[in-house]
């Protein structure tokens, strides 16, 4: 079976058209995808990632928060990557990203805004109370300080006087026995008795004579 040349030509034209269309689509889509910036906004930070920009031209990027510079205008080449910390805020704030593409007519320049919400405050972690150290119980029988003796030993203030020796001239006591004058006294007594007896005898004799 012979296929007409016209059919071959038609099929070839269709294939060529399909290839050209696919190539053109890839070429046209390539730059657009390459220049799409990636950025993310949270309650506390902003992340900016710019890739595949023209390296030999002064591309610029600026980030502001409620009109105030968070990232002053900065020049970059092929790529730009930065993470920025947002200031503390008690209400939502507007974050604005401005990228200026310096290549050609700047059709890949962007100007976008995002809202940064207020961060939820983490609930405070309860602090466990510090256990009170156990106190040592006092001894039931505390040691007592010994009391001084109720009757302290008395020391004589003065030395005991020595008994005086008896004088040689002192008369002997009666109960200690006869002294040296005992014979004299005895002799005197005998003499008195004899004298008395003599007187009595003389008186009786006189009376007898008178009668």
Residues 14 and 70 in one domain: no
Number of domains within the chain = 2
How many whole angstroms separate alpha carbon 46 and alpha carbon 112? 13
Range of the structural domain that residue 18 is part of: 1-34
Does residue 150 sit within a domain?
no
Residues 12 and 53 in one domain: no
Does residue 108 sit within a domain?
yes
Residues 9 and 54 in one domain: no
Tell me the per-residue pLDDT of 65-88, one tens digit each, with 9 for 90 and over: 999 999 999 999 999 999 999 999
DSSP 44-90: SEEEEEE-S--TTS-EEEEEEETTEEEEEEEEESS-EEEEEEPPP-S
Does residue 89 sit within a domain?
yes
Residues 71 and 103 in one domain: yes
Residues 84 and 19 in one domain: no
Residues 107 and 73 in one domain: yes
Does residue 111 sit within a domain?
yes
Tell me the per-residue pLDDT of 136-167, one tens digit each, with 9 for 90 and over: 555 555 555 656 555 545 554 455 555 555 55
Instruction: Write down the mean pLDDT value for the chain.
Output: 72
Does residue 129 sit within a domain?
no
Q: What is the pTM of this model?
A: 0.44
């Amino acid at each position: 079976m012979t296929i007409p040349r016209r059919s071959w030509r038609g099929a070839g034209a269709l294939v060529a058209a399909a290839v050209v269309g696919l190539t053109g689509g890839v070429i046209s889509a390539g730059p657009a995808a390459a220049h799409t910036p990636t950025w993310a906004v949270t309650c506390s930070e902003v992340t900016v990632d710019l890739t595949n920009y023209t390296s030999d031209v002064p591309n610029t990027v600026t980030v502001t928060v409620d009109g105030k510079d968070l990232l002053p205008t900065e020049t970059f080449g092929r790529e730009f990557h930065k993470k920025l910390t947002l200031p503390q805020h008690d209400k939502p704030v507007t974050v604005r990203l401005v990228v200026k593409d310096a290549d050609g007519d700047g059709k890949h320049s962007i100007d976008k805004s995002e809202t940064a919400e207020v961060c939820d405050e983490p609930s405070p972690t309860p602090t466990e109370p510090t256990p009170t150290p156990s106190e040592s119980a006092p001894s039931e029988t505390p040691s007592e300080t010994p009391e001084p003796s109720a009757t302290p030993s008395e020391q004589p203030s003065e030395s005991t006087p020595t008994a005086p020796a008896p004088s040689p001239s002192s008369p002997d006591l009666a109960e200690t026995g006869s002294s040296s004058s005992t014979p004299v006294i005895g002799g005197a007594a005998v003499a008195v008795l004899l004298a008395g007896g003599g007187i009595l005898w003389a008186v009786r004799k006189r009376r007898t004579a008178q009668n």
